[in-house]
Structure 1
Amino acid sequence: MMKGRTLFKSPLPRSHLSDASSAASASAAVATHRLYQVWRGKNRFLCGGRIIFGPDASSIVLTVALIMTPLALFVAFVSFRLAELIGKPFGPAVPATAMAVGVFDVVVLVLTSGRDPGIIPRNARPPDPEDYAGTDSSASPAAASGGGGRGASWPLPPTRDVYMNGMVVKVKYCHTCMLYRPPRCSHCSVCNNCVERFDHHCPWVGQCIGKRNYRFFFMFISSTTFLCLYVFGFCWVNLYLITRQYDCSFGRAVAESPVSGFLIVYTFVTAWFVGGLTAFHSYLVCTNQTTYENFRYRYEGKGNPFNRGAAANIAEIFLSPIPPSRNDFRAKVSLADPDAAALYYSLGPLSSESRVSFYTRDSLSFDMAKASFDLDYSAKRPSVASSDFGEIYGQGHGALDRCATQQQQQPRHSIFGGPGRESRKVDDEADGVQAELGAVMQYGAAAGRPHGREFEAV
């Protein structure tokens, strides 16, 4: 029995087996994350990435409450009584129409807020400078300041000229998404995405308004305007019929139906807002403009290359097919790929084991990739030798030790006499970095790989 046990004894210590199993599980976890889980934008996702909202999606609750509360009051306290006063066959249509328009209003609101507005995927790296070698970049502000990094001049110009319907349109380079924006595209600072045919970011729907949801946004504001005018008009009709039925004054009719008086005031104020918005966007649809272009006087003094006439512009907005989304938010993303690692460096829900496993793969850490692109995105990153990373790693440990010694000798104090919050924050960050580097070294030693190769840059 003893010999049988020794025959099946594992040749590796138990600690090595646990480290290897945890590394395999961590690498598998990293490889099976979906796109919406590591998305760099500020969007919120529901139903496993099938529904996408903006960062201020909670405002939809307020918008629905502002619409449905007065509608419920109208249906419950005004419409059925008005249906009795009007009689058949038109009376029963009053509450039915109000409820149908209300349901349609909420549906188009969800379609506006819960879909991809036309987000353009980011690039993992800037465009190759060789593609724009013949472009003059002397006008670039970075060229004048020597911001080209390793190059003598700025290889990518800040703008490019493209031709649309025989007219020149300038497109800008987006430093965040590292791409030249298509015509009529802009970067939304709220959602942190480049949106195709960007109109504006609407806080009432909590989403950007772009090429894929502008149609539903227009339906939403126009149906809300119709609902306000509908309730406003039939509340007046209700008060008028009450005065005729009871042969009383208008004030007595308001006292008899106070909900009608309240809804008249409420819908009058609301109709000015949504009605003006509907009229403004009707003008934009007929002239084929966006709110962003109109507010910036983009076509003042020159022709609009996208204007094809009122009828064709209306058909383009409401009759043309909606293009499919350029992003498959449920697609699996392998962070072992250097391009994917650089593109989706905001891990978010990943566990600490997954982070350590990723750091030990043949790619840069997310913070290092972010700093590289933010500081110098004009040139390709050269490979860094393992000896260089060894020196950097040694200097990092020495810097941490010096920081810890200085903090022990000269602690910062707040105005209240005790250690300040800033000092505690620095201590926590230093401890976290030191623990992270220690975990990486421990894992690398357990896997039997040299430290330099673990951090080899791509």
Structure 2
Amino acid sequence: MEGRMQGKAPLSDSNRRIMDTDAPPRRVYQAWKGSNIFFLGGRLIFGPDVRSLLLTVCLIVIPVILFAAVISGQLAHEYHNQIGGWVASVAIIFTAYIIVLLLLTSGRDPGIIPRNAHPPEPEDVGESSNLSEWPGGQHGSTGLPLTKDVLVNGVLVKVKYCHTCMLYRPPRCSHCSICNNCVERFDHHCPWVGQCIGKRNYRFFFMFVSSTTLLCVYVFAFCWVDLRIIMDTHRCKLGRAIMKSPVSGILILYTFIAVWFVGGLTSFHLYLISTNQTTYENFRYRYDRKTNPHNRGLVQNFIEILCSRIPSSRNNFRAKVKEDSATFTSSLGMGRAISPPKMSVDLEMGMKRQTVAMEELEDLHSQIGSAMGLERCGTEPPHIVGRKGCSEIATDIEAFAEEFGLEQRFTERKKIEQRTSHNP
């Protein structure tokens, strides 16, 4: 038995897929064509630059740890009461809230539009489209138009065709070159959170940026209070107070620089929300020079973006992939595919399974044998048909026969064919 296993012919990838019926089914996130990175079995989805998220967390958490450990202790010592503990508690709780917002921004589907398996039919595009030649057109006829017109609040808006996702992007949708996905209401790809900012996470992104701004102001203010107390207690100037509390000086400088960044982002996105724009639209289309079809007024814009219901994800990343049976394509170049043997996985029908496998094996072997016959007769071009392809398929058949205990029957058929080939 051991010698038989050692001499067993290796299986090709196609036959291995056919015979591995007990393998667990693949999930959508495992077959995802984008550049995203998944965690916890597809429950969390990140961009390919997810490592930058660790840097962002460190830039937030480390200063707060220094603030809670050093500054709050000094405030408690100077005031001789519990104010230091309260200051530290507020900072820690607020930081935890910001981290949760950061994860909600970076770890969820931003609004990815599922790809199409096939391009849409040209007749389904509609008449209101720019009829231009598309390189993917079939049979030399006019293919899919590159753009088509869509009516948005009474204004005609052109939407583009995405060759990667094989779909016409909805209005305000764009294809992210980093994540390799079409994202609904695409705002931008943020490297600090390692994710695209779109329709489903823009609200959390704005809350994260604005909350971080408030945290910077909070730390900045109490560091100044600490320095002011030192200046009053020791009757010294600012420089001497910083020497006595260098952590306060470092945090004041750090939060001053950070507040310009996150505070500037907060102000910019407040303007975008009030005018119902995205960052992509603001830099590309410049709606201040033409009508913005999405602008519904200041109040309605804030309600739509910050208070409306977040739509459900269009993707179920944990769903099972519906994979068709692998097509057993012959390397003989016959111009047709040979169907794989059908195998039953019902353990209660073992005899039936073996019978079906034997029948399918005979049919498969007869097809291979006929192909070899064509090669011997010289009916196929030499650059398509070769002995190598036949030997590979024969090896697969032999290994397949051994798997189902049909070695003896396969060997007998092989001897008969050899005698037939030597005695035409």
Using structure 1 for the length normalisation, give the TM-score.
0.69
Aligned to 1:420: none
Alignment of 1:37 with 2:30, yes or no, is yes
Alignment of 1:108 with 2:97, yes or no, is no
Which structure 2 residues correspond to residues 177-196 of structure 1 after superposition, within 5 A? 177-196=165-184
2:64 to 64, 67, 71: 71
Aligned to 1:150: 139
Alignment of 1:270 with 2:264, yes or no, is no
Paired letter, 2:68: V
- 1:311-345, Cα deviation, whole Å (9 max, x unpaired): 1111112211111111110110132169xx9xxxx
Structure 1 residues 161 and 87, CA gap change in structure 2 (3 angstroms) = farther
Aligned to 1:310: 298
Residue 333 of structure 1 aligns to a residue whose secondary structure is: coil
Structure 1 residues 122 and 21, CA gap change in structure 2 (3 angstroms) = closer
Q: Do 1:360 and 1:440's aligned partners in 2 also have CA atoms closer than 8 Å?
A: no
Residue 289 of structure 2 aligns to a residue whose secondary structure is: coil
Aligned to 1:119: 112
- Cα deviation, residue 83, structure 1: 3.6
Aligned to 2:411: none
- Cα deviation, residue 89, structure 1: 7.1
- 1:384-440, Cα deviation, whole Å (9 max, x unpaired): xx99xx999963566xx9xxxxxxxxxxxxxxxxxxxxxxxxxxxxxxxx89x9655
Q: Choose between structure 1 and 2 for higher RCO, CA contacts under 8 A separated by at least 6 residues.
A: 1
Structure 1 residues 130 and 438, CA gap change in structure 2 (3 angstroms) = farther
Paired letter, 1:68: V
Q: Do 1:336 and 1:361's aligned partners in 2 also have CA atoms closer than 8 Å?
A: no
Residue 45 of structure 1 aligns to a residue whose secondary structure is: strand
Distance 1:305 1:36 in 2: 35
Distance 1:138 1:22 in 2: 47
Structure 1 residues 159 and 337, CA gap change in structure 2 (3 angstroms) = farther
- Cα deviation, residue 191, structure 1: 0.4
Aligned to 1:212: 200
Larger C-alpha radius of gyration, 1 or 2?
2
Distance 2:385 2:52 in 1: 47
Distance 2:385 2:186 in 1: 47
Alignment of 1:336 with 2:324, yes or no, is yes
Q: Identify unmatched segments of 5+ residues in structure 1.
A: 1-13, 342-358, 363-385, 402-433, 449-458
Structure 1 residues 159 and 242, CA gap change in structure 2 (3 angstroms) = same
1:247 to 235, 247, 250: 235
Structure 1 residues 164 and 88, CA gap change in structure 2 (3 angstroms) = farther
1:200 to 178, 188, 211: 188
Using structure 2 for the length normalisation, give the TM-score.
0.74
Structure 1 residues 208 and 332, CA gap change in structure 2 (3 angstroms) = same
Which structure 2 residues correspond to residues 380-395 of structure 1 after superposition, within 5 A? 395=383
Paired letter, 2:142: S
1:26 to 20, 25, 36: 20
Distance 1:299 1:441 in 2: 66
Which structure 2 residues correspond to residues 342-421 of structure 1 after superposition, within 5 A? 395=383
Structure 1 vs Structure 2 CA RMSD = 3.3
Q: Do 1:135 and 1:157's aligned partners in 2 also have CA atoms closer than 8 Å?
A: no
Aligned to 1:50: 43
Q: Identify unmatched segments of 5+ residues in structure 2.
A: 1-6, 328-336, 341-369, 402-424
Q: Do 1:117 and 1:195's aligned partners in 2 also have CA atoms closer than 8 Å?
A: yes
- Cα deviation, residue 253, structure 1: 0.9
User: Aligned residue pairs: how many?
Assistant: 350
